[in-house]
Amino acid sequence: MKTVLKPGEKRTWIHCSSMGEFEQAKPLIEALRAKYPGYKIVVTFFSPSGYEACKNNILADYVFYLPHDSKRNAERFLAVVAPSLAMFVKYEFWYYYLTQLKKQRIPTLLVSGAFRPEQPFFKWYGGIFREMLHSFNFYFLQDEQSVKMLHTIGINANILISGDTRYDRVAEIAKNVTPIPAIEKFKDGHKILIGGSTWPGDEDVLRECFAIIPDDWKLIIVPHEIGEGHIKKVQQLFDNEPVLFTELDAENTGSDKKVLIVNNMGMLSRLFAYADIAFIGGGFQKGGIHNILEPAVFGVPVIFGPIFEKFVEAKMLASLDYVFPVNDAAGCRDILSKLITKEQYRLTTGVTLKGFMKEHTGATAMIMDEIERGGWLN
């Protein structure tokens, strides 16, 4: 990964908060590369986890931390990067960067934006936040509620409900998924419940639900934190029954075990191809749920905890009864039992969910059409 910008380059700048927003940006980055090969892609991050995970990603030409939001830093950053176009993914609103972009008349887009009434933009004290929003030239939003919220603060033009680019991203992953032979051997003809991106609260719930999982089902747990200490705690939750993914080999296939703990990174999106039901973590802690679209794209019914109100896709799918939020272990047991014992219901839900996912792809193409129409990268 290059760390020094070359003079004379034309550049597009994409800012992401963390890894999740970078996943949203990937389809757009790929499309920009194909459509505008003469432009270099600069990606910035706020969070260390996002930067560390993506600093060597070949999709971007440059990956940096975004310097602290100050007038001096914003002026210097824009002078050095000199972007022809700037894009902020979903959220991350930085006052000095946005106002400097507006002052310098650099076209600035909000991608996959989502707004809720409780955000400060829409409060009596939110003047400085509203000023940031007014710095964008175009708003690509996820849903109608977001449009209505912008209308309440006088933003009525240059708005398009394009949806969420993550639908495009997970569709691409599903289309190109590669087999995992070790998982196929562990599965050994069984049906699979996958607990993905789990935190301790999620793991406690899965432990309480474990007793109702019949003999022809197995459980795969993919913890969000894979440090040795946490992995041992998960093993102990299940009475040291689980086999670790790193222990699997030609001799130890784990086929005699009912629980597998995946103690490495980068496999989860592919693992969902083997799932019959998914439990997505994060819903029992402040930050909220992780990505439910990764299992949904395979037509896998999804269960998750109660903290999901920030996520447009989760609210939409839950309102249609395509996915299943639960408040506690008892609720999880109820829906899990229904999905396991009523096979036709589970399969029908999966088919409907898969169709929904297909219908909601296309955000990237809509954004690219508008970029071309606006002439922002000519």
Question: What range defines the domain where residue 147 resides?
Answer: 10-163+362-374
Answer whether residue 198 is part of any domain.
yes
Task: For residues 309 and 206, state if they share a domain.
Answer: yes
208-232 confidence digits (pLDDT tens): 999 999 999 999 999 999 999 999 9
**Going edge to edge, which strands form the sheet with 108-113?**
62-65, 39-45, 10-16, 83-89, 108-113, 138-141, 159-161
CATH of the domain at 147: 3.40.50.11720
Answer whether residue 169 is part of any domain.
no
Task: For residues 370 and 295, state if they share a domain.
Answer: no
Cβ-based neighbour number of residue 72 at 10 Å: 10
pLDDT higher for 17 or 55?
17
Task: For residues 319 and 231, state if they share a domain.
Answer: yes
Task: For residues 130 and 191, state if they share a domain.
Answer: no
C-beta of residue 25 within 8 angstroms of C-beta of residue 111: yes
Task: For residues 197 and 324, state if they share a domain.
Answer: yes
Task: For residues 138 and 217, state if they share a domain.
Answer: no
Task: For residues 355 and 368, state if they share a domain.
Answer: no
Answer whether residue 172 is part of any domain.
no
**Amino acid identity at 90:** K
Answer whether residue 239 is part of any domain.
yes
Instruction: Average the pLDDT over 101-121 and give the result.
Output: 95
Task: For residues 293 and 319, state if they share a domain.
Answer: yes
Cβ-based neighbour number of residue 58 at 10 Å: 6
Task: For residues 153 and 19, state if they share a domain.
Answer: yes
**Which pLDDT score, from 0 to 100, does residue 323 have?**
97
Answer whether residue 311 is part of any domain.
yes
Answer whether residue 168 is part of any domain.
no
CATH of the domain at 252: 3.40.50.2000
Instruction: Average the pLDDT over 2-24 and give the result.
Output: 87
269-294 confidence digits (pLDDT tens): 999 999 999 999 999 999 899 999 99
Query: How far is CA 225 from its chain centroid?
Result: 17
Task: For residues 277 and 135, state if they share a domain.
Answer: no
- What mean pLDDT value characterizes the chain? 94
Answer whether residue 2 is part of any domain.
no
227-257 confidence digits (pLDDT tens): 999 999 999 999 878 999 999 998 999 999 9
334-371 confidence digits (pLDDT tens): 999 999 999 999 999 999 999 999 999 999 999 999 99
Residue 309 CA: distances (Å) to CA of 182, 197, 229, 254: 36, 18, 31, 38
Q: Which residues contact 178 (CB under 8 A, 6 or more apart)?
A: 270
Place of tokens 């009525």: 156
Whole-model pTM: value is 0.90
Q: Which of 283, 90, 319 is nearest to 196 (CA)?
A: 283
Answer whether residue 5 is part of any domain.
no
Asked if pLDDT for residue 162 goes beyond 90, the answer is yes
**Which pLDDT score, from 0 to 100, does residue 160 have?**
97
Task: For residues 156 and 215, state if they share a domain.
Answer: no
**Which pLDDT score, from 0 to 100, does residue 1 have?**
42
The total number of structural domains that make up the chain: 2
Task: For residues 310 and 369, state if they share a domain.
Answer: no
Give percent of the chain with pLDDT exceeding 70: 99
